[in-house]
Amino acid sequence: MIAMEVRKSSDVSLREFGCEQNLLSRPDGSASFVQGDTSVLAGMYGPAEVKVSKEIYDRATLEVLIQPKVGLPSVRERSLEQCVRETCEASLLSFLYPRSSLTLILQVVHDDGSLLSCLLNGACMALMDAGLPMSCLFCGVTCAINADGEIITDPTAAQEKQCRAILTFAIDSTDRKVMMSSTRGSFSVHELQECIAVCQKASEKLFKFYRDSVQRRYSKTV
């Protein structure tokens, strides 16, 4: 079996990222997350009343809606919604709110690569802002394998176009395990494990960022 080794790239880095919490007045929790030029706005309503057709007797019904910037939502948005919803359901303690609805709405403000990881990060910050109980935090990291076999983390749209594989993982905060993975392209088993290891390392930075931003926010008591 040919082992496709991934060469270490010198410029593996995360683009500058930023976040603003509680920027919308109507949603119960809202956050905007920016990774380089990719930015996403997340709004969260819940726990609220649920339609009888959608209610679950022992848990809250989580609904995720992703709105693209141009046009109406299509199949692409549906598949992204499924990835985000599964990650959120795995971390939210939804059994605390039976027969209620939790609605998470994500608006794509600008897409310059690594969209799914930006959506996951925005979703986690909005859930935190809404004060929903979670068993763990999660973050999304995207890495791409370019034609030379190098790993690039947090690729821009131009970099994504030239890559042979793009892998996005949702990593949880307690054990740094993979909660969700969404990949496109072909890669070997070894490359997959290396990408997971790189994403786990990158997730450390994101979790530290979550901690810092929440600490900053609650540093002044009103």
Partner 1 sequence: MKDTPLSNCERDFLLKAIEEKKRLDGRQTYDYRNIKITFGTDYGCCFVDLGKTRVMAQVSCELVAPKESRPNEGVLFFNIELSPMASPAFEQGRQSELSVKLNRQLERCFRNSKCIDTESLCVVSGEKVWQIRVDVHTLNHDGNLMDAATVAAITALCHFRRPDVSIQGEEITVYTPEEREPIPLSIYHMPISVSFSFFQQGTYLLVDPCEREERVMDGLLMIAMNKHREICSIQSSGGIMLLKEQVLRCSKIASVKVSEITTLIGKALENDKKARKAGEKCGFAESMSQERITTLIVDETPVEMTDVVEQADDIIKNSKAPPETPSSPVVPAPGVGQVGQGLQNSWGLEEQDSEEEEDMVVEVQPKKKIAKGDIVEISDSEEDEVVILQPEAPVKKSTAHQKGATTSKKKK
Candidates 149, 216, 194, 152; CA nearest to 7 is 149
101 scored as a contact of partner 1 (CB under 8 A): yes
Distance of alpha carbon 122 from alpha carbon 107, whole angstroms: 10
Binding mask 128-167 for partner 1 (x = CB under 8 A): -----------------------x-x--------------
CB of 121 to partner 1, least distance (A): 12
Distance from C-alpha of 221 to C-alpha of 195, rounded to nearest angstrom: 41
18 touches partner 1 by CB under 8 A: yes
Contact between 96 and partner 1 per CB under 8 A = no
Write the DSSP symbol of residue 37.
Answer: T
Shortest distance, CB of residue 9 to partner 1, whole angstroms?
8
Among 4, 56, 65, 90, binds partner 1 (CB under 8 A): 65
CB of 15 to partner 1, least distance (A): 6
Site for partner 1 in 33-52 (CB under 8 A): 34, 37, 39, 41, 43, 45, 48-50
CB neighbours of 128 closer than 8 A, spacing ≥ 6?
A: 21, 29, 31, 134, 137, 210, 214
| SS3 state at 172 | strand
Picking from 137, 122, 126, the residue whose alpha carbon sits closest to that of residue 177 is 137
What tokens were used for 104? 């998470």
| Distance from C-alpha of 100 to C-alpha of 28, rounded to nearest angstrom | 14
- Cα of first residue to Cα of last residue in the chain, in angstroms, is 62
Assess 172 for contact with partner 1 (CB under 8 A). Answer: no
With binding defined as CB under 8 A, does residue 23 bind partner 1? yes
Q: Taking CB under 8 A as the rule, does residue 205 contact partner 1? A: yes
Q: Which residues bind partner 1 (CB under 8 A)?
A: 5-6, 8-9, 11-27, 30, 32, 34, 37, 39, 41, 43, 45, 48-50, 65, 67, 69-71, 73, 101, 103, 105, 107, 109-110, 112, 151, 153, 189-190, 193-194, 196-198, 201-202, 205, 209, 212-213, 216-217, 219-220
